Amino acid sequence: MERESMEFDVVIVGGGPSGLAAAIRLKQLNAELTVCVLEKGSEVGAHILSGAVIETGALSELLPDWKERDAPLLTPATDDRFMFLTQSKAIRLMTPPQMNNHGNFIVSLGNFTRWLGQQAEALGVEIFAGFAAAEVLYHDDGSVKGVATGDMGIGKDGQPTHNHTPGVELWARQTIFAEGCRGSLTKALFERFDLRRDCEDQTYGIGIKELWEVDPAKHKPGTILHTVGWPLDTQTYGGSFLYHLENNQVAVGFVVGLDYANPHLSPFDEFQRFKTHPAIRPLFEGGRRISYGARALSEGGFQSIPKLTFPGGVLVGDTAGFLNVPKIKGTHTAMKSAMVAAEAVAALLALADGPKEATAYPEHLKKSWVWSELHTVRNIRPSFHWGLWGGIAYAALETYLFRGKMPWTLHHHADHLALKKASECPKIVYPKPDGVVSFDKLSSVFISSTNHEENQPAHLKLRDAAVPIAINLEHYDAPEQRYCPAGVYEIVRADDGSNPRLQINAQNCLHCKTCDIKDPTQNINWVVPEGGGGPNYPNM
């Protein structure tokens, strides 16, 4: 069956804050433009997960009357705390200026994104939720022509079932890629157009989050707590966040830099252990865990930003890596990058015979507050390669004395190269979950409402089926069993312990992309499953 095609002026891949900001800005600039947004989740916001505390600058530029439009920014930040944890104590530290949240709001980013989707649709943007962009299309001259959605109804054997529906080609004069962290199509664009030639390796973290309903007597709306230290060792980058939203809800999460060295480390179990700390546990006792999820974060910052344009398209948001790590925020920078891109694309499309590459986008972005904001803090994340105390000392020096004007730029390294052999690292014994404040992976995945059509090809592809046993198990004790926060990867054996093999439970996948990033031989390739699959996050 041949694929049908649809034509638009602009196709946007990804219905997150950056993709929707681009769509809204395009329609504000030219209401006659036909704009389509593709979202692989079952609805806009279904796959969105973040802390989140949001700065409103970019939102106010995009929609100055957002308060009158009833934007779901309901809880202003009121109290910032920053603590260093030992196993038994919590020591309050001075809050770094980048983490001052005065004027910001604690939000459900999923609900904020759903609201943005409504604003886009009111302007005439067409949003196709439940359709995953699976392939980039090209013109004969090599420029991007658009994207194609994946086929539906392909069985595990790769053959069409009786429910087979071919994908649809969406052709565009310009395609905006807003896939979020480690986008599968963006990876292909990096290679085809050599977009990472002049930038550092991207470095990543994994963020794991739960939403709780707590005892009203313990709830303090607007309170923000960040911690470093225990349970991580001082050589592993990471820490926690804890945000009190409205309605007695608390968002709690843990971030681990994916450049960690010990293959025995499990980010999920570090998070569960964190909640048992005597300064943290009382908040959750007597409460109810509502939801769970995980996603990777692009932490490379300024020096990891790739070339942003190519013939026929642009990159925006977290797919390009605009997260401000010291602020622990990226929504404002992602949205602003998309707005600048939309302005460049709209100007390009207004030319009858203009060029196919929106080169004005990076030129204008470099003159915006996004560029200066990220440049100022560019050295803080890589300084933690010297460990927790070295990183804190350097960050203080750069922040208070040099104010981001150091005459050098520190470097990153690829996360998958940081993993040491299992024999070189101490094993980590994690306590069993108590079912009160700590839980196992499978019960956690259950409350993420994750679901995939079972009879479909696995969207987690192995480039070489022998590598998981011959290399990963042999040298690294199968770290995919631990860095995956959803129990997707499992080593199974015969009854006598022989004949180990890797079992991939793709049904559990939260779409966090950690396996694609951390696999030591880069043998795992994450591609999109059927549209509509994956988590369905409420209020995350």
* Tokens at 227, concatenated: 């911690």
Q: Is 344 exposed, middle or buried (0-12, 13-18, 19+ CB in 10 A)?
A: buried
Beta bridge partners of 105: 54, 76
Other CB atoms closer than 10 Å to residue 437's CB: what's the count?
22
Q: Which one, of 51, 4, 325, lies nearest residue 210 by Cα?
A: 51
Q: Report the helix count and the strand count for the chain, using DSSP H and E.
A: 16, 24
Largest CA distance in the chain: 71
In the annotation, is 512 catalytic?
yes
Catalytic: 50?
A: yes
- Active-site option among 173, 273, 484, 514: 484
State yes or no: is 484 an active-site residue. yes
Give the containing element (helix H, strand E) for 190.
Answer: helix 184-193
Strand partners, 292: 210
Q: Is 425 in the active site? A: no
Closest CA to 281 of 212, 233, 207: 212
Answer left, alpha or beta for residue 44, where phi above 0 means left and psi between -120 and 50 means alpha.
beta
> What residues contact residue 8 under an 8 Å CB cut-off, 6+ apart?
34, 35, 36, 126, 146, 170, 171, 172, 173
Of the residues 376, 448, 450, 509, which is catalytic?
Answer: 509
Per-residue HEC secondary structure of 41-70 comes to CCCCCCCCCCCCEECCHHHHHHCCCCCCCC
List the catalytic residue out of 175, 203, 240, 331.
331
Characterize the bridge pairing of strands 75-76 and 105-106.
Answer: antiparallel
What are the angstrom distances between the C-alpha of 3 and each of 127, 152, 170, 304, 475?
A: 20, 12, 10, 37, 45
Backbone φ and ψ for 260, nearest 5 degrees, come out as: -65, 155
SS3 140: coil
Residue 290 phi/psi, 5° resolution?
-100, -45
Q: Which of 441, 463, 455 is nearest to 509 (CA)?
A: 441
For the record, the structure tokens of 503 come out as 């079992």
* CA 129 to chain CA mean position, Å: 19
**Which tokens hold the place of 247?**
């309605």
Whether residue 515 lies in the annotated active site: yes
Q: Which of 50, 175, 319, 514 is catalytic?
A: 50
Catalytic residue among 25, 114, 289, 295: 295
Please enumerate in sequence order all residues whose Cβ is within 8 A of that of 159, keeping only pairs 6 or more positions apart, or say none.
none
Q: Which of 228, 242, 204, 285 shows the shortest CA–CA distance to 79?
A: 242
DSSP state of 436: S
Task: Check 184, 482, 512, 514 and give the catalytic one.
Answer: 512
* Cα dihedral value 506, 508, 513, 519, nearest 10: -60
**Which amino acid, one-letter code, is at 447?**
I
What does the alpha-carbon distance between residue 324 and residue 50 come to, in Å, rounded to a whole number?
14
| Catalytic residue ranges | 50, 295, 331, 484, 509, 512, 515
